[in-house]
Structure 1
Amino acid sequence: MITAETVAVAFAMFSAIPVPQPTWNEKNMRYVLCAFPLVGVVCAAAYGLWAAVCGYWPVPEWLQAAGYCLLPVFLTGGIHLDGYADTCDALASYADAAKKQEILKDPHCGAFALIRVCSYFVAYFALCASLTMDRRTLACLGVGFVLERALSGWAVAALPIAKHTGLVHTFATAADRTTVRRILAVLALLLCAALVMVGGVAGGAMVAAALVTLWRYRHVAQTQFGGISGDLAGWFLQKTEIWMLAALVVCRIVEAGV
């Protein structure tokens, strides 16, 4: 029962998928970050289903790419994209850490958030349109969805928190942080190995992109915000997703050229 409640809390928080709404308590919150990567499994399954639909019916290529671009947003309800937009606004301010935190809390969408989100979708769409969604590619992308969430959950349990309020603080303080760090670190290592095994050089490039983005996330959070927050966690996940996708596309172009 506790395991089912933990998974339900993770999906209720990090996805738009209808699930039972258990009352949050100490027991079902302890390992909820370990269930977070399961949302990535659902995203991977949705990619596979959309690929099957596109293979069965003559779906135009641009519409196929739009489906791959939008499916992760529909399944997550845009929760991570919201954090990405807020963080882009804060970073564009070039203000001190306290002012950046105020911008993160502002419910209004600034000009830089709009510009960055539009640019993000154009880039994501173009990258999806550049790929042939064969089994190998879908496997790489699917593992990537799980890996980015494993790294995000690990960061919440491992990195300093910027403030003593908010969802990240709630999840971090409720978690068995030592156990969560260990579980997600092992999972992330296994997923990195799986990416290399499935994707070869392309999989290795995706792993490198994810780890560089994690390093950048830690640096930006500590130097510009005083620690991580929910918005920064969303920013990291979206950045990791698009950079892994870009790494895959570049490798496919190089392979085709060779």
Structure 2
Amino acid sequence: MLRTPSPDGLRFAFGTLTVFPVKVTRWDREAARGGMLCAPLAGLAVGLVAAAAGLLLLFLGAGSLLAAVATAAVPAVLTRGLHLDGLADTADGLGSGKPAEDALRIMKQSDIGPFGVLALVFVLFAQVAALAQAYGGSWARGALAAVVSATAARLALTLAARAGVPAARPEGLGAAVAGVVPAGGALAATAVVTAAGAAASALLGPYGGWHGGPYDGLHDAVRTALAVLCAVAVAELLLRHCVRRFGGVTGDVFGGVAETAATTALVVLILG
């Protein structure tokens, strides 16, 4: 069951997951629990800024491709690139085929290997291509895709921090947040984000809200809900694979999970 977000939880979420000038005043397990439950709110804020950047460029006369590039770039800037870096490091660790200890050592290195480069290239291309297609359909559709994908990405972090998911190392951000979220809280957060995304899509989407009838609004709502659920499902597959390979989660794994969820949500949103 979800409670009203606490100030400490909100500060933890925005202070650790974004570059917004929020000072984290507590770094204990209780604050981490509140912070990871509030992670989708941080994602919502990131998504709104990303959508605003894309819409501004469209308003100024830019094409959908440039708007998509800006929209994909904003989350990277607002997270200091940590999620993309985590994706690359996770890909290098998994791609190495080495035992857990050696793979974790590879992930801690500052350089990026070939698997990491490939992961970054394909994920960023997929995100930009999906956003460009969404903006090409309508400005509202592109903006909604930006918000939904960013929120779904942080929802995947909430689920990755649930009880029962161990940390691979005794130190680092992964260890600080691993297992802090009760399973019931993670499921409740998933239900809230899915329902909110579906409602926003039905009310503000390019079909049901502006041009179509009730059927179009329902279609948009179902597609958005499906995008959120598919995003967390694919992220869960990556999470479980990482737990099997590394013995638990790390900060890099959290980053990889977030980018995987964001990309999956965007792809599902533009299909059909």
The TM-score bracket by the shorter chain reads: 0.7 to 0.9
**Match of residue 240 from structure 2:** 219
Q: 2:175 aligns with which of 165, 169, 172?
A: 169
Report SS of the residue matched to 1:18: coil
Instruction: Give distance in 2, aligned partners of 1:55 and 1:45.
Output: 15
Q: Deviations over 1:140-161 (max 9, x none)?
A: 5423322331231222123222
Instruction: Give the number of aligned pairs.
Output: 246
Instruction: Give distance in 1, aligned partners of 2:80 and 2:224.
Output: 27
Instruction: Give distance in 1, aligned partners of 2:122 and 2:152.
Output: 24
**Match of residue 24 from structure 1:** 27
Amino acid at match of 1:37: P
Q: Deviations over 1:209-255 (max 9, x none)?
A: 2143133123312321112221111101101101110111222xxxx
Instruction: Give distance in 1, aligned partners of 2:123 and 2:97.
Output: 21
Cα deviation for residue 83 of structure 1 reads 0.7
Q: 1:38 aligns with which of 31, 38, 41?
A: 41
Instruction: Give distance in 1, aligned partners of 2:32 and 2:139.
Output: 38
Cα RMSD after superposing both structures: 2.4
Cα deviation for residue 26 of structure 1 reads 5.8
**Match of residue 67 from structure 1:** 70
Q: 1:108 aligns with which of 108, 111, 119?
A: 111
Q: 2:263 aligns with which of 238, 242, 248?
A: 242
Instruction: Give distance in 1, aligned partners of 2:55 and 2:261.
Output: 26
Report SS of the residue matched to 1:130: helix
Would you tell me which structure has more helix in proportion to its own residues? 1
TM-score (norm 2): 0.80
Q: 1:157 aligns with which of 154, 162, 166?
A: 162
Amino acid at match of 1:131: A
Report SS of the residue matched to 1:131: helix
Amino acid at match of 2:143: L
State whether residues 140 and 195 of structure 1, in contact with CA within 8 Å, keep that contact through their aligned partners in structure 2.
no
Instruction: Give distance in 1, aligned partners of 2:149 and 2:270.
Output: 13
Alignment of 1:73-222 (within 5 A): 73-132=76-135, 133-158=138-163, 159-172=165-178, 175=180, 177-178=181-182, 181-197=183-199, 198=201, 199-222=220-243
Cα deviation for residue 201 of structure 1 reads 4.1
Structure 1's 25 and 130: CA in aligned 2 closer, same or farther, altered over 3 A? same
Name structure 2 gaps, 5 residues minimum: 202-219
Instruction: Give distance in 1, aligned partners of 2:262 and 2:161.
Output: 18
Amino acid at match of 1:77: R
State whether residues 51 and 71 of structure 2, in contact with CA within 8 Å, keep that contact through their aligned partners in structure 1.
no
Name structure 1 gaps, 5 residues minimum: 252-258
Identity among equivalent positions (%) equals 23
Amino acid at match of 1:216: L
